[in-house]
Structure 1
Amino acid sequence: MERAMTERATLSDNPGSGTPRATYRLQLDSRLGFTEVRRLLSYFDRLGISHLYTSPFLEARSGSPHGYDVTDHNAFNPELGSEADFDELAAGLASRDMGLILDFVANHMGVGKADNNRWQDVLEWGEASPFAGFFDIDWHSPNALLRGKVLLPFLGQSYGKVLEGGELQLGFDASQGSFAVSYFDHLFPVAPRHYARILSGVSSNILSGSARSELAELSAAFRTLRTAGLSGRRQREVRQRAEALKEQLASLAQGMPEVKEQIERAVALHNGGPGQHANCLRLHRLLQKQAYRLSWWRVASDNINYRRFFDINDLVTIRTERAEVFDNIHRLVLRLIAEGKLHGLRIDHIDGLSDPRHYCEKLRNAAASRESGGDSLYLVVEKILAHGEVLRTDWPVAGTTGYEVLNRINSLFVEPASENVLQTFYHQLTGMGESFDETLASAKRQVIDHLLASDIQVLSNLFSRLAESNWHTRDFTLASLRRALAEIIVSLPVYRTYVDPRGCGASDRHEIHQAISSTKKRNPLINNELLDFIRGVLTTDLARSRSGFNRNQVIRIAMKFQQYSGPIMAKSLEDTAFYRHMVLASLNEVGGDPRHFGTSMEDFHRFIDERGKQWPHAMITTATHDSKRGEDVRARLNALTEIPELWRRKVEEWISLNGCHRVSVDAVDAPVRNDEYLLYQTLAGSIPMEWVGSASYDSSFPDTAALDDYRQRIEGYMIKAVREAKLNSSWAHPNQTYEEALSSFVSGILEPGGVFLKSLLEFMQVLGPLGALNGLAQTALKFTLPGVPDLYQGTELWDLNLVDPDNRRPVDYGVREQMLRQLSESADGNRDGLVAELANGWPDGRIKLYVTWQLLELRRRHPGLFLHGSYEPVHIHGDNSHGLCAFARHYHDQCLLTVVPCLCKTGAAKAGRLTAAGLYEGAGVSLKAVNDHQQWHNLFTGDQITAEANGELAVSDLLAKFPVAVLHSGIPFYE
């Protein structure tokens, strides 16, 4: 096997194009930086990975756990290593013919604190800053108090309390000759023009004559630094003058200690505290003169005048559509592409950009002009497609990162026939009778009215200004426009449309018409003429000549609307409704839709075939850093649909058992039934595999340390879940009493040796094997379906993580390396013995690693089959054929046949062994689609298989030794 692996370059074909064979997603942090990743390259290479795909590695907020709060796109994150460390990693990848893909943040930057120089410049100079147009700030707010200012909602209490409490402190940096106001780790610069106000407090009679004279001249010079109404050239001159004056002030303060002392005394006059009204007043008057307005963070939802990433105040969107911004933020990545050190980009939150198509075109062209060699940049976008929505075909990308295919694969393991049983039980149990449509609409209204109220207000202001420009629409009031826009966004079935200066495409027009029509039906009090006006803007029909409206203004507003509707959908669906509607939690996944309970095999094949033809090199993923649950948690929860009655009985039993742990909070039992039901699903989905299948459960099992760690994870998850749901608690207003009751409940039911834990672990003997078989099947699908498989860090073993930050915990690569080494050695020997051992020891995860490794090795040796091979559904018929998925991939004389069990797997473990043997007796795989291939090799068992005389393969034979089957024909795999 080792020799065969080293000869892969001569044995494989060379499809070119720079498309990865398989990617491995790494979440970088201070513990896993460039040097640590370089040390793991031998493992990733041995596993069969062609490209590492990393979280952002550009400079970010200090201590960032994820890297998405970028502060400088043109520098490496020092917490991950130096540029030299990165170069060593790049060289290590090149030596193994491996590539690198970066998760690139083009939509926003981290601000606040003092680590974003561009943002600090904007605060210092306001609209005169060269970066004033870099960030998406509304400098012309209808609120007179914010005109020409940017709201800074970074205070932990109301402004008055913070000011009088002495938490805002003016300071002087003698080394720079500059003044700034500090608030914990935030730093707010004072505009140079107002230095004179501070320096006026210096007791000049104490200073020597020369010092007094020089300081007076500097003070007078600072007072002249006006920028209002000046041309760009004159503003630059003023800035240069200011820097020179700062240097003089620094030199004076450092050269004359008495000057520095007097300046610090003047500064102290502005720093108050309780009972020091005069000092507070001085600082307040100074702050009032600045190009920013400090405020309590709670003010942001109503008054903020810059566009954020969702509702995160310290992530400010940037105007990537502007040429100077685009050029600025891509300088480093384009250099790395030109140097051959970066081979692909994953564009984070593409929907946040003004014109995604144009951005991708510009990026593609910029990369092409710098690329060396024949390979082109691999470019994918993070795009969440609604059910039935398709990616725009005119985007010059390889496709999406794969949320839509994740959910299609997931749906295969959901038994549609169980929907009514689980729906009825859920409604009876929780008393929550509303449909998911109603849940989502309610969540959207809550987000619009509270979390993103300022966003909808900005949008309404834009429409109001446009309406005011035409006598036919001038009577549409701001309030009526706001109400209508809110209802249209509630009705919009997709995240956003993609209208651009070229106009409105057919699919976008359909979505807009649908939203307007739904709004008219649901809200008869809204003026139809007003809705038609909004329709004309959103479709850009009003941009046509002779409409009476300014074409550019109409297009700009339509494109702004699109940037606002996406975050509202995301916050409402992913971060609210998915935590409220809990019929089956595995359906509540990014890109998923709980209204679609399972799928038919025909629909699955149709979707995969169409995606494979349109986007053959798009990513296929089953877990991401944004997943709501690990892939094997979902796999387990899906298995509940195969045993719905048993699940119902167990939940009823647990509710009765755990009644003693509930307490009353505001006259309501805590936790409420909906939260309790989510908890039971979470436990069933995430109980560690090593706890599943144990012969005995007593006070010593599981061990105390492991149980404590697991309990803390579950408590943390449940607190996040109830805050996201925004019903019994929230991030904005945490309900401590309820959260404490919830944590106490979790701790109480998970006590060592408890009756509930014993019952849960006994139930897992049934559910665990079903979920594991689902997990192996979805792994086989991921690596054999058309597209580029993406492996999220650590998921080559069982993935029982929950939502972030749980899924960012460190991965033990030492264990994985050792397991892979042992598998590699064993695969060269007795294959029957190996697969039997793996099936018997399935809880340790080696069986999943084996499937992953074998398929990645096959992809490495025959990339053409997977990059270019056709996709052909294969018919399975006969008794017990329900729930089996089969398809073939053809490329020249090579053929691959995948057969996996998706449903009807009760009895998946016999005597502790994971197996599908005997579950599908009488089912046969028809080889009509591949009738030119009769001799097959089973990738996992090593068996040679000959088709039966009638041109079929018996499923029971294929799955007799191993739970999933991947066969190949015409492929010289084992030399």
Structure 2
Amino acid sequence: MTRRPLSTYRLQIRPGFTLDDAASVTRYLADLGASWAYLSPLLAATPGSDHGYDVVDPSRVDDSRGGPEGLRRFAEAARAAGLGILADIVPNHVGVAVPRDSLWWWDLLRLGPGSRYATAFDVDDRVADGRVRLPILGAPLAEVIGDGQLKIDHAPAADAPDGTLSYFDHVLPLSPGSAAHADDIAELLEAQHYELRFWEDQNTDLNYRRFFAVSELAGIRVEDPDVFEESHREILRWITEGLADGLRVDHPDGLRDPGAYLEQLAEATGGAYTLVEKILEPGEELPGWWRTDGTTGYDALVEIDRVLIDGAGVRSLDALDRELRSGSGLPAPESWHDLIHGTKRMIADELLQSEVRRLVRTLPTEIDGAADAVSEIVASFPVYRSYLPAGREHLAHAIEDAVRRRPDLQDAIAALAPLLADASLEVAQRFPQLSGAVMAKGVEDTAFYRLTRLGTLTEVGGDPSIDSISVYDFHEAQRARAASWPHSLTALSTHDTKRSEDVRARLSVLAEVPERWGEVLTDLRAVASTGHGPLDALLWQAAVGAWPISTERLHAYGLKAAREAAESTRWQHPDVEFEKGVAAIAEAANGAAREIVEGFVDEIVLPGRSNSLSAKLLQLAAPGVPDVYQGTELWDHSLVDPDNRRPVDFVARSEMLAQLDDDVAGGILPPIDDSGLAKMLVTSRALRARRDHPELYDGYRPGTVVGEAAEHAVAMDRGGVIAVATRLPVGLARRGGWGDTALLRRETPAVDVLTGRRFEAGSVRLDDLLATYPVALLVEQR
């Protein structure tokens, strides 16, 4: 029988926080109420990697993360604390930034087709005579040769019997017998199984599949049984030896056939608990035939955020955005779908043109204008990908939209349509891998940094054109999860979120005070500005949402945001002059504008904390398996990675939890203040209730709230537990509070586990129930 968690707690394992460090916090996680520990990737990764998604050797646990013995010690500690273990795995790609550290890649580069790993990598042998194109040069090859920048070392080594070729920090193996060309560097290079290319050629001429546009992450053919077996042998050992209970599969959409992969994984693990990192667009459902327990929870994150947002206020922020654009000499804003069509088309034409060209090379017949047509279809694709034969309706939509936008390509699109729908063809098998990459880069990593009116809306898994949802729609989404995917993860913060849950919760208040935010933004821009109004709004929101924030953190975020937006500056070709404006904002936040920032934060911090506590309780009580991202049991105001991978002080948290328990036992409840103890109270009590009384969470019904302020409450009845949360706290305060609003309950006594207060049978007024905190968790006394 598959063992499944009641909740998880995500730990980022890295050289600075090893498996032994993780072992030392297992007791704290259990005391907090977590059911399983959820570990980031553990396999050997590129030296210095903090995230671990750049695996270089799938046969062993990374020594810098604690090694195999560290994993065993962690597992022993977790078991002693009563915790299960969920491990994050990466089947789509391996890290190749440092070839010598990447066992499979080094062998391929040295031996080419004779390598045992030749079939492991997704390399197109139609070009460059099958040689792997390496975009590592700072100039075209002829210039590099002419400048003498390539160095040959003929000294044999265990992994390079014929010597090595070096270009600055890049070291590559020489192929067998190629040393005979030592006197002619051009002939020597021709004798290798790789082809050195100018770094910009990665956009157009790369011939191996990547993770999105990251050339340092090379895709592997996990659909090959031998590749699956060798890349998963160590992972399967964790399951069979009891070192892990379940797996989180990173980026399955990068695989040729995710469903078949999950089937193979389930057979190999005996049906172990398995989650997929999958973004679902509005209305899209997780494929029901997949052998998985659900997603990693972006869908739940969006539902919780949206039910706490004032949609009318967002429309006022839209007006502010139009003013900012007009004042900056920018065109009027496009619709969301037109905006992302443009950003996706840009990605297909630029960063991922290599992938488009490869797709065209797979066509069984030549089609005039094929590359242009493929790019237009992929830009119109409405979801991340299809899983043929399922999903043909998405392809049909994309075809129709592409023809509407580009009637000049009608013939090419018509010729492509049946080929892209034929699952037996390579072009149809590869197109979904391309569409997912274009969506990720064009939407999450570009458009999200251009549509800036409210940062809460541009979060992973979200569609910013949907600015809010009703309480009714929220309940419908929870009922659907309870019915179809009861063991799917739910999340509020992850290592991939653009902003932490508490940043988003604070920013959501802007939709309740749009005019006031407009005034404050005007004052802030008068102190420092990039000259690009929407980007200014994004950066000043980051300052306000993550406050207090250092100049260094805000500057790093600002540069990433501006370059991802790719409007005034870019990663590959930064505009140094424009970026001075980004630096000016970062410096002003803690300098000339500090008083303005702090004054406004003081105005919104309390309703922001109300949103935070409401979101946390809704997540922890709702259907699914709630995940707590490391450190977020206290206030956490992190921005996009790597900001959200900063060290977490678990010693302090453990001490705080112990003191909190003592205080609560003595009748002392924590205030909602800077300490974050109120959030720790909500987190720990909700997790413990779920762990200790899982039988009380056996259903889902909307709670019934009546009265003059009923629209400001969200209540859910899980069977024996009722969670109540506050929404739109500024509006609630404006109307004078809860008034006669009441929660209708069964004739059963209940205890609010957050405050310890007992409520007798029947309805309860919300001004009484929520007198201490904006949330309550009523556990029925049966």
Which interval holds the TM-score relative to the shorter structure? Answer: over 0.9
Q: Which residue of 2 aligns with 1:194?
A: 178
Aligned residue in 2 for 1:71 = 56
Determine the structure 2 residue equivalent to 1:23.
8
CA contact (8 A) 1:883 1:902 kept: yes
Q: Is the 8 A contact 2:707 2:741 kept in 1?
A: yes
User: Which residue does 1:861 correspond to in 2?
Assistant: 692
For residues 807 and 39 of structure 1, the distance between their equivalents in structure 2, rounded to whole angstroms, comes to 21
1:643 aligns with 2:536: no
Percent identity over the alignment is 35
1:126 partner SS: helix
* From 775, 788, 802, the counterpart of 2:639: 802
**Could you tell me how far apart the structure 2 residues matched to 1:654 and 1:186 are?**
45
Name 1:706's counterpart in structure 2: none
Query: CA contact under 8 A between 2:273 and 2:293: conserved in structure 1?
Result: yes
The Cα shift of 1:98 comes to: 1.2
**Cα offset for 1:818?**
1.1
1:903–1:748 CA distance, 2 compared to 1 (3 A): closer
Which residue identity lines up with residue 320 of structure 1 in the other structure?
V
1:847 to 667, 678, 686: 678
User: Residue 888 of structure 1 corresponds to which residue in structure 2?
Assistant: 717
Q: Is the 8 A contact 2:7 2:36 kept in 1?
A: yes
Counterpart check, 1:591 vs 2:461: yes
Secondary structure in 2 aligned to 1:844?
coil
Deviation at 1:938, TM superposition (A): 1.0
Give yes or no for contact 2:539–2:585 (8 Å, CA) kept in 1. Answer: no
- 2:421 corresponds in structure 1 to 539
SS where residue 295 of structure 1 aligns? Answer: strand
Aligned equivalent of 1:968? 779
Residue in structure 2 matched with residue 203 of structure 1 by the alignment = none
**Does 1:429 find its partner at 2:299?**
no
**CA 921–17 in structure 1, closer or farther in 2 if over 3 Å, else same:** farther
Match of 1:525 in 2: 408
Q: Which moved more, 1:173-182 or 1:340-349?
A: 173-182
Cα pair 2:181 2:187 within 8 Å, conserved: no
Does 2:377 align with 1:488? yes
Q: Which amino acid in structure 2 is aligned with residue 865 of structure 1?
A: L
Cα deviation code 1:129-175 (max 9, x no counterpart) = 2211100000112xxxx122110111233323333333311112345
Deviation at 1:539, TM superposition (A): 2.4
Matches within 5 A, 1:293-442: 293-368=195-270, 377-431=272-326, 432-442=332-342
Q: Aligned letter for 1:748?
A: A
Q: 2: distance between equivalents of 1:639 and 1:175? A: 61
**8 Å CA contact retained: 1:918, 1:956:** no
- Between 109-118 and 623-632, report the one with greater CA deviation: 109-118
Write the distance in 2 (CA, Å) between the matches of 1:922 and 1:430: 44
Whether the 8 Å contact between 1:380 and 1:398 is mirrored in structure 2 is: yes
Paired residue for 1:683?
Answer: 543
1:447 pairs, out of 335, 340, 347, with 347
Structure 1 residue 422 displacement after superposition: 1.1
| Deviation (angstroms), 1:564 | 0.8
Are 1:671 and 1:742, in contact at CA under 8 Å, matched by a contact in 2?
A: no
Q: Residues 917 and 961 of structure 1 are in contact (CA less than 8 Å); yes or no, is this contact kept in structure 2?
A: no
Please name the residue that 1:12 is paired with. Answer: none
What is the SS of the residue equivalent to 2:195?
A: strand
SS where residue 303 of structure 1 aligns?
coil
Aligned residues of 1:905 and 1:919 also touching (Cα < 8 A): no
Change (3 A) 1:327 1:155: same
CA distance in 2: counterparts of 1:429 and 1:174, whole angstroms: 62
1:917: Cα distance to partner?
Answer: 12
Q: Deviations over 1:703-730 (max 9, x none)?
A: xxxxxx6111001100110010111111
Compared CA separation, residues 408 and 115, structure 1 to 2 (3 A):
same
1:84 maps to what in 2?
69
**Distance in structure 1 (CA, Å) of the matches to 2:156 and 2:372:** 52
Aligned-pair CA distance for 1:72: 0.8
Aligned residue number for residue 875 of structure 1: 704
Distance change >3 Å, CA 365–CA 101, structure 1 → 2 = same
Aligned to 1:825: 662
Do 1:770 and 1:906's aligned partners in 2 also have CA atoms closer than 8 Å?
A: no
Cα separation, 1, equivalents of 2:735 and 2:586 = 38
What is the match of residue 710 of structure 1?
550
Corresponding position of 1:719: 559
Distance in 1, matches of 2:410 and 2:613, equals: 55
Q: Give, in whole Å, the separation in 2 of the partners of 1:195 and 1:635.
A: 62
Letter in 1 for 2:703: V
Aligned-partner SS, 1:598: coil
Decide whether the 8 Å contact of 1:425 with 1:648 is kept in 2: yes
Deviates further, 318-327 or 116-125:
116-125
User: Corresponding residue for 1:54?
Assistant: 39
Distance 2:178 2:212 in 1: 34
Task: Provide the secondary structure at the position in 2 that maps to 1:389.
Answer: coil
Q: How far is the alpha carbon of 1:907 from its aligned partner?
A: 7.3
Contact 2:131 2:195 in 1 (8 A): yes
Code of the aligned partner of 2:316: V
Whether the 8 Å contact between 1:127 and 1:139 is mirrored in structure 2 is: no
Cα distance in structure 1, aligned partners of 2:198 and 2:164 = 19
**How far apart in 2 are the matches of 1:963 and 1:765?**
18
Aligned to 2:598: 761
Equivalence for 2:386: 497
1:538-687 aligned within 5 A: 538-540=420-422, 552=424, 554=425, 556-656=426-526, 658=527, 661-662=528-529, 670-687=530-547
Larger-Rg structure: 1
Question: Helix, strand or coil for the counterpart of 2:163?
Answer: strand
What's the counterpart of residue 365 of structure 2?
467
1:824-853 deviations in Å (ceiling 9; x for gaps)? 1112221xxx22x423xx221011011101
Q: 1:519 is paired with a residue of what secondary structure?
A: helix
Q: 1:780-836: CA deviations, max 9, x gaps? A: 011100111101111111110000010011011121111101011112221xxx22x
Aligned to 1:515: 398
CA distance in 2, matches of 1:727, 1:174: 49
CA distance in 1: counterparts of 2:199 and 2:721, whole angstroms: 57
Q: Is the 8 A contact 2:91 2:231 kept in 1?
A: yes
Distance in structure 2 (CA, Å) of the matches to 1:509 and 1:336: 38
1:902 aligns with 2:731: no
Counterpart-to-counterpart distance in 2, 1:532 and 1:970: 65
SS of the residue aligned with 2:544? helix
Work out which of the residue numbers 733, 739, 742 in structure 2 matches 1:921: 739
| Distance of 1:527 and 1:633 partners within structure 2 | 45
**Where does residue 753 of structure 2 map in the other structure?**
939
The 3 A distance-change label for structure 1 pair 175 and 538 is closer
The Cα of 1:425 is off from its aligned counterpart by 1.2
Other structure's SS at 1:192 match: coil
**Contact kept in structure 1, 2:740 and 2:765, CA below 8 Å:** yes
Query: How much is the aligned-residue C-alpha RMSD, in angstroms?
Result: 1.7
Code of the residue aligned with 2:570 in structure 1: it is S
Partner of 2:329: none
**CA contact 2:137–2:197 (8 Å) conserved in 1:** yes
Deviation at 1:651, TM superposition (A): 1.7
